Structure 1
Amino acid sequence: MVPHRARLHGDRPSRARPLGRLGRTALASVVLLGVTGAGTVYVTAQAHDAGELVSSSASSRTRTKATTEATVEPVTASASAEPTPTPASASASGDAALADALGSVAVEAGARLSVAVLDTESGRSAVYGDGAFDTASIVKADILAALLLQAQDAGRELTAQEKTYASAMIRDSDNASASALWKAIGQARGLAGANERFGLDGTEGGDGALWGLTQTTAADQLTLLRQVFGDADESLLDEGSRAYLRGLMGDIAAGQDWGVSAAGPTGFALKNGWLPRTATGLWDINSVGRVTADGREYLVAVLSDGNSTKAGGISMVESAAKAAVTALTTT
C-alpha cells in the first residue's frame, strides 16, 4: 500500500524511516506519515525538542500530535573496554546540604527533580535524587562525546560533515543533525559502548531512532560533564576533543542559554533539553553544564519532569541550579 501523506508545520520532508516500538513517544515534528499493509508506521521528523506519534493499532488508523520542538533518527562503531575513571563520591554532608538548599525550590505537585553538583577545585560533590529521566536534547552532548571517543579510537579527526552536524546539534539543538550523528555512533549500542568507558552506569539509549528518549540520571550527567570539563588525567577524551566540545557548549544559540547558567551567568557552557509529553501534556526540562560563580567552577546537572509548563520547568531548574551551587559554597 502506498502510504498516505500529510504535511504538518511546514517542515522540510526527508527520507522516511520505520519507527521502532509502536506506542513509544517519537520526539519530533511529523512531516510524513503512512501505514503499510502490515501496519508499520513510517514517519519523518525534524524540529527541536518534542512531539509524539501514537499508533492506535496495527491498522491504517493513526493519530499524531506534534509540537514546535523535538528529537529523532539515527555507521556503527563499538568501543573496546577500557578502565573507567571513578567519579568523585558525594559526601553525606554535601548531600544533606544540597537537600536542605533545594528545600527552598518550588516544585509543583506531581513534578520530579534530581540534581548533581561538583566543585571542580575542591572536588566536593553532592547528589539529590537517583531516579531516571528522559534526556530530551541533553543527550546531544553525550552523542558528540561518543563520536569523539570513537574517532580517537580510529586515530582520525572528525570529518567536515561531522563537524557541521556537531555544531548545529550542540549550538542550535538541531534534531536532524543529532539524528545523523546518532546513526553514525551506532545508535544506543554505540552510546552504551562509550558510556561504559566514561563510567555512566545509569544511562540507557532510546530505542531505534528515538535518541531523545534515552534515560539517564543526574549522577551520570555529572560523570559525563567531568569527562569534558574535569581533570584531563581523569578523562578518556583527549584535550582536543574536550576543547572542541567545551567550545560548542560555550557558544549556545540565543534563547537556549537558560538553565544552569542562572547559577553563573558570567561564565558558562551548557546543553539544555525540553520535551512536552503528549500522553500527559507535561514537560521534561533538563540542563547540564559548567558555571563559574564567585571565581570558582562548578559542574551542575538538573533533571526534571512532570512540569505543567515549559516556563515553569525552566524557572524550577534555574532555582535548583542556584541552590546547588550555594549548597557547595556553604558546606
Structure 2
Amino acid sequence: MQKILVARPIFPDVVERLKQYFEVDWNDGPALDSDELARRLADKDGAITVGDPIGAATLAQAPRLRVVANMAVGYNNFDMPAFNAAGVLATNTPDVLNEATADFGWALMMACSRRIAESEHWLRAGEWRAWRYDGFLGGDVYGATLGIIGMGRIGQALARRASGFAMRVVYHNRSRVAPEIEAALGAEYLSKEDLLRQADHVVLVLPYSAQSHHTIGAQELALMKPTATLTNIARGGIVDDAALFEALRDKRIAAAGLDVFEGEPNVHPGLLTVPNVVLTPHIASATESTRRAMANLAADNLIAALGVGPRAGQPPNPINPEVLGKARS
C-alpha cells in the first residue's frame, strides 16, 4: 500500500476516505516544524498540506514523494522550481472557496466602513452612555467606488456583489480580463495608482509571489483617500503591515480589514493597538461546506495523482501538469 502524510488536522471522515487507498500518517496536532515534516515525508508517496513550506531540501529527503496536494488555492508555500526539477506534482483547490471568500471579504469591508468592530469594543467596555449624532460616523458603501486588485475568480465574485450596492467597480490586474467579463461585471480597468486614488474601498485578492510582495506599501497608502478602507483577504506579505499600521495610526486612511498577515500567525504588534482595524485569523474560507469541499478536493487530487480511484492518473487541479506520468529525477 502506498504511504501518505496528512500534515494538518482535517475532517476525520476525509482521512477515513484516504485510508481506503493508502497507509495514512495523520498529524492531528500542531503544525510540524520543517525538520519533523521532512522526517515524516521521507518514506511517503504523497502528502496533503495546508500551507506547510516545502522546498528543495525537503523534496531531496523524500525520494518516493510523487505528489503534494495543498488544501488551499494559493501555493506560495511550495518552491515550484524545486518541484519541477524533482518531478513532484503539486496540486491546489481552486473554485470551491470563491463565494465563501468573497462573502467574507465583503463582510470585512462593511465592518471597516461602518466601524462595527470599533463600536462593539467601545460598547463592551461600558462606554455607551447616550446616543450621539456623530457617534462612530463611518463611510458609505452603497454608491461608493470599489477597487479590486486581482480580478481572478474571487475578485469577480466581489464585483458581482457590488452591483447590488450600486457601486462603481474599478480593478487592476496583471492583465486585463476579457471585454465580455468587464461588461458583465460593469468593471473598469485602471492602473494601480489610479485605482488607489479613486477607490473608496480597496480589496486585495491577488496571489502572493516575489512580484506581488508589498503591493501595498507606504507609497501606495499615500495615494489613497483619507476616507478610504483597505481589505486584505489574499495573502500576508502583499501588504507592508508596518507601513499600514503607521497609516492607520496617523489616520491617513480610515480603516483596514485584515484576514492575513506577514509572518502569520504572528501579527505586527502595532496593528493590535489601533482601533480602526478589523483583524481575523485567516478564516475567509471558513464555512463548513467550503472547508469540506477543499479537503475532499485535496483528497481527490492526491488519490488520482497516485494512480488509484475513479480518476486515476488525472488529478483535477495540477499546478505543474508537465511532470505527470514522468519518473522522479
Q: TM-score with structure 2 length normalisation?
A: 0.26
Higher fraction of strand: 1
Over alpha carbons, which structure has the higher Rg?
A: 2
